[in-house]
Every structure is written in C-alpha cells, then in structure tokens.
Amino acid sequence: MIKFPLSPIFIPANKLDWITKTFERGADSIILDLEDSVTETHKKKAREDLYLHLIDNKYEGNLIVRVNPIDQDLGLEDIKKLTDIDLSIDAFMVPKIEDSSFLSKLPEINVIPLLETPRSIQNIADIASQSIVKGLALGGADLSASLGSTMDWDSLLYARSKIILEASINNLFSIDSPFMDINDLESLEKESKKSKSLGFDGKAAIHPNQLEVIQKSFLPSDEEVKEAKNIIKAFNSSSAAVIAYEGKMIDQPIILSMEKRLRLVGIDPKTID
C-alpha cells in the first residue's frame, strides 16, 4: 500500500468513469467493487473491462479491488486475472473470509479480509496472522444481519474491539464499516470520532459527501501535528526512557502514537530532529 487508507470509498467496478471523478472529490482510496455492486450476469464482463482499463490507466491514489468470495471460482478468477500483469492495484479486499484456509491458496498479494460473519470474528486471530494480510475491514451490514442485531455502534462494539486488538498485534491497518445514512453527516462525524478513539485507522465511505467528514474526524489538527513534532523532538533530545512534557509523562508508547499521528498527514517522523 502507498499508505493505509483513511476514507476508502466503494464504487461499482463497472463504473470506471467514476474513478477519476471520485479522486477529484477528495478520495484517498477507492474500493472497486466486483461483488455486491455488480449483478451476477455482468460480473465477468466487469472484471474484463476493469482489467483492460487498468492496463491503460494509472492512478496516484490507492486502488483496492473487492473481489467475489474466494471460496468460489468467480473470486479466484478475479484475482488470477487482475494479478496476471502489473496493474495499479494496491490491495484486494476479500469478502466473507471465515478462516485462513483459502488465503493460503492466494499468490503473494496485499489482502484486506472483509470481516462480516460471526465465524470471521471468531477466527480473526488466525486470519490476521497470515503474511499476505495487510489490513482488516469490518463489514457491518452483513455481520449485523447474521447476528440479528442493528448496525449501531454499541451492537458491533465487540467485533470492532477484536479487529483493533488483532490489527495491533499483527501491525495491520484497520477500516471501520461504512455509515449507511448518507444524509446524516452529523451522526457520521460522531461515529467516525468513536472509530478513531477506539483505534481504527480509517472508515469506509459509500458516498463522496461522506469523505470530508471522515477525513476531518481521523486527521490530526494543526495543533495536534505541532504537539506531536514537539514531543518527538523533546524525547529525541533526551537520553532518558521517560520524560516530562508540559506536565505529561512521555515514554516510548506515547512516541509511537505521536509518530502514527504524523504519518496520517504524510510526515515521516524520522525527519523530526
């Protein structure tokens, strides 16, 4: 991945003219969806058209392709075709993964398992530990349907917490589930801030109008960036394992958090003197 996605947005893989327009609307990552957004009769054509399009077009932002389930031939064919030559695909989002058995059959690609069944949450440690897995994403709609729950924050808090735990253990990025009411930007902001506070690196979007809200919720403010730089400078200039900074105790875990904050805005913390 160029960097982990902050506000990846789903668009149908058969709407190729939307890619440039969506990046122009502020997307940092696009998830081209070959699964739910494309009808069964059009899936093979959508795959072929996407393949031909990516031969001729390169994009600066992250491109993720959500393939069809890989426990079916269709999903395996998606990956085989789209890894046939070097295309500008940063990762493949793999839906309905319930254990690592099918992941072991894939080539050396970047994979983001979409965790959207009770069994996938149960087996998340096994899934997250696979070397090709680079990130974890919550599929809240399918998971809540399987559980018989709502998609509310509290209803899926256990699943979210398990994803954050395993992402941290395995050094993976994490993507929270989309907020489905595209007109309720106030609630989207509240949920995005909860996602960030829990430890998610980003939140998926389903409409361009959601991008700015998500990005502002996850990106640090100018003051937070300045604070991170100053804390890192103070720590680097000291030989102590723990320092005091404006009344706060600063140790290595805090430094790691500050470094992550800077990476979110494209600053390499190693360049901070």
Q: pLDDT digits over 148-200, tens only?
A: 999 989 999 999 999 999 999 998 999 999 999 999 999 999 999 999 999 99
Instruction: Classify 207 in phi/psi space as left (phi over 0), alpha (psi -120 to 50) or beta.
Output: beta
Assign 3 a pLDDT band (cuts: 50, 70, 90): low
Asked if 10 contacts 37 with a C-beta cutoff of 8 angstroms, the reply is yes
Give pLDDT, residue 268.
86
> What type of residue sits at position 147?
L
Mean pLDDT of the chain: 93
For residue 124, what are the contacts with CB-CB under 8 A and spacing of at least 6?
115, 136, 162, 163, 166
Give pLDDT, residue 109.
94
Angle 181-127-121 from CA coordinates, rounded to 5° = 45
Give pLDDT, residue 184.
97
The pair phi, psi for residue 71, each rounded to 5°, is -85, 5
Give pLDDT, residue 31.
97
* Residue 137, beta-bridge partner list: 114, 175
Query: And the tokens for 99?
Result: 């254990």
Q: What's the average model confidence in pLDDT over 247-270?
A: 87
Residue whose token pair is 């983001």 = 112
Asked if 12 contacts 35 with a C-beta cutoff of 8 angstroms, the reply is no
Task: Sort strands 248-250 and 243-245 into parallel, antiparallel or unpaired.
Answer: antiparallel
Q: pLDDT digits over 101-149, tens only?
A: 989 889 999 999 999 999 999 999 999 999 999 999 999 999 999 999 9
Cα 262 from Cα 241, distance rounded (Å): 21
Cα 214 from Cα 204, distance rounded (Å): 8
The residues spanned by each domain of the chain are: 9-218, 222-271
Residue 1 has pLDDT above 80, yes or no: no
Residue 2 has pLDDT above 60, yes or no: no
The pair phi, psi for residue 129, each rounded to 5°, is -85, -5
> What type of residue sits at position 130?
Q
Supply the pTM of this predicted model: 0.88
Cα 204 from Cα 62, distance rounded (Å): 13
Asked if 89 contacts 64 with a C-beta cutoff of 8 angstroms, the reply is yes
Query: And the tokens for 215?
Result: 């990005």
Burial 110-120 (b: 16+ CB within 10 A, else e): ebbbbbbbeeb
Q: pLDDT digits over 194-249, tens only?
A: 999 999 999 999 999 999 999 999 988 888 899 999 999 999 988 889 999 888 99
Asked if 63 contacts 32 with a C-beta cutoff of 8 angstroms, the reply is yes
Residue 22 has pLDDT above 60, yes or no: yes
Percent of the chain with pLDDT strictly greater than 70: 99
Q: pLDDT digits over 37-69, tens only?
A: 999 999 999 999 999 999 999 888 899 999 999
Residue 32 has pLDDT above 80, yes or no: yes
CATH fold, domain 9-218, is: TIM Barrel (3.20.20)
